[in-house]
Chains A and B, each alone.
Chain A
Amino acid sequence: GQNIDQPTEMTATEGAIVQINCTYQTSGFNGLFWYQQHAGEAPTFLSYNVLDGLEEKGRFSSFLSRSKGYSYLLLKELQMKDSASYLCAVEDSNYQLIWGAGTKLIIKP
């Protein structure tokens, strides 16, 4: 079956760095996405990885290892507004997104 695993909840301190991990087993792979979802709102796109390695975009970076079925999202210089759920999704061989349940990130002052 297809499976995306990520931690249910994480807590971090304002100004610190946090890494959110995602492991996947899917039928085919056409890319991995990270989305941010604030409570009561729609998901919004953060990053896309299709090749192994690190993609950096401001305070956010995303890493992919296809051989290990593993990705992480790295958030630096955490701000209170970063409190949200972070969703990992893999595009399978049918070009459909398979979604993880999301990681709720709580930022403390």
Chain B
Amino acid sequence: IAGITQAPTSQILAAGRRMTLRCTQDMRHNAMYWYRQDLGLGLRLIHYSNTAGTTGKGEVPDGYSVSRANTDDFPLTLASAVPSQTSVYFCASSDSTGGAREQFFGPGTRLTVL
């Protein structure tokens, strides 16, 4: 693994189903983030984690949950998917102890909820 990986690459999901998007990084970054990106809108933060064992809510957390059991993994769960959750989801990580807290992004998961 080099950088951040996300799985699956894309998914079509029936409304009401539960879905977990996976994210793994190998850079030993302390901070990790989940964003959604919709056409015409900027990236919107769903949840974040500043360090293993802690998580926080972003701008649009409703309908999503996360966990951070270790440094490398940061899964995002949709408990009961709805069509408005159709989007491209990006996971990112950063070394927040540095000066320029550049975020590195995974390749994204394209999710369609029908």
Contacts and interface: CB of A to CB of B under 8 A. Distances in A.
Interface string A72-109: 00000000000000010101000111111110000000
Interface centre among A50, A89, A91, A101 (most CB of B within 10 A): A101
Interface string A16-47: 00000000000000010100000001111100
A45 B101 contact: no
Interface string B16-55: 0000000000000000000000001111110010000000
A42 B42 contact: no
B48 A43 contact: no
B103 A95 contact: no
Interface residues of B, number: 20
B101 A91 contact: yes
Contact of B40 (A31, A41, A50, A101): A101
Contacts of B106: 42
B90 A42 contact: yes
A96 B43 contact: no
B107 A41 contact: yes
A101 B96 CA distance: 24
A23 to B, nearest CB: 14
16 contacts: A4-B42, A31-B100, A33-B103, A42-B106, A42-B107, A42-B108, A43-B105, A45-B104, A50-B99, A50-B100, A95-B101, A99-B43, A99-B44, A101-B40, A101-B41, A102-B42
Given A41-B107, A42-B106, A98-B42, 10 more contacts: A41-B108, A42-B105, A43-B43, A43-B90, A45-B102, A45-B103, A87-B43, A95-B96, A96-B45, A101-B42
